[in-house]
Amino acid sequence: MQLVIRRYRPSDKDPVLALFSISFREHIGPCFQKAMTSPLYLAITLALGVTGYLLGSVLGAVVLPGAWVGLVYFCCHEHYAGFIREKLQTDMQDITGNYLSRPDDCFWVAEAEVDGRAQIVGMVAVVAKQSGKERHGELFRMVISSSCRRVGLGFRMAQTVIDFCKERGFSKVVLKTSSMQTAAVALYTKLGFSYVLSHTETLGSVWFQTMAKVSILKMEKHL
């Protein structure tokens, strides 16, 4: 497969937005499964089933836990769907304006030749941040298409960000990810990122994030 990593062009917008949305929606199912199989949620489901039965009937034993399971699914769904909606209405709505109008920010795409056609199969962005006298880069929007994973492309994209930040004399690269994004955490760890702290920061609604049992992780790599 022929692969090229290049700067984003306005004509990439539709495939980039589609890839971004699909890749973050992928987390909904595993997130729901992980939440529902946690000891706490299993206990709540069981307790609601017993309570429903004692209060009413066999129907109650199904309806109460069913409503709870539905609520948990809704929260997992909204945690990711809300994140996607928000990003599509903010930075991703104008990628050129938000990521390519300053020389120390950038947005790259990975383009592959698939069946004779060029396709966008990955993306990553960096934004320069000032903290006191130091400048660092924040990595955003790391996504690789499911058909191109585990061949080293995510590593190359992240390395592109690291090299870009090194060239500019930035002190470090920072990023946020979540406890559900285990592939991303493994990738960043392999690249030498370490946890800053597993903190209580939220991305989107606190309510959905708490119910979905997702925690936000902050990682950084000193350059």
Ligand X SMILES: CC(C)(COP(=O)(O)OP(=O)(O)OC[C@H]1O[C@@H](n2cnc3c(N)ncnc32)[C@H](O)[C@@H]1OP(=O)(O)O)[C@@H](O)C(=O)NCCC(=O)NCCS
Which residues bind to ligand X, rule: CB under 6 A?
Answer: 23, 142-144, 149-155, 177, 181, 183-184, 186-187, 190
Question: How long, in residues, is the chain?
Answer: 223
Q: How far is the CB of 182 from ligand X (least distance, A)?
A: 6
Q: How far is the CB of 124 from ligand X (least distance, A)?
A: 8
Q: How far is the CB of 46 from ligand X (least distance, A)?
A: 32
d(CA 185, CA 151): 16
**Residue whose CB is less far from ligand X, 68 or 188:** 188
**Contact yes or no for 124/139 (Cβ under 8 A):** yes
**Residue whose CB is less far from ligand X, 71 or 163:** 163
Q: How far is the CB of 165 from ligand X (least distance, A)?
A: 16
CA distances (Å), origin 186, targets 100, 146, 219: 28, 16, 12
Q: How far is the CB of 176 from ligand X (least distance, A)?
A: 7
Q: Would you call 11 exposed, middle or buried from its count of C-beta atoms within 10 A (0-12, 13-18, 19+)?
A: exposed
Pair type for strands 216-222 and 172-178? antiparallel
d(CA 223, CA 221): 6
**Residue whose CB is less far from ligand X, 181 or 209:** 181
**Residue whose CB is less far from ligand X, 18 or 54:** 18
Residue number of the CB closest to ligand X reads 154
Helix, strand, coil percentages, rounded to 5, for the chain:
50, 25, 20
**Residue whose CB is less far from ligand X, 160 or 205:** 160
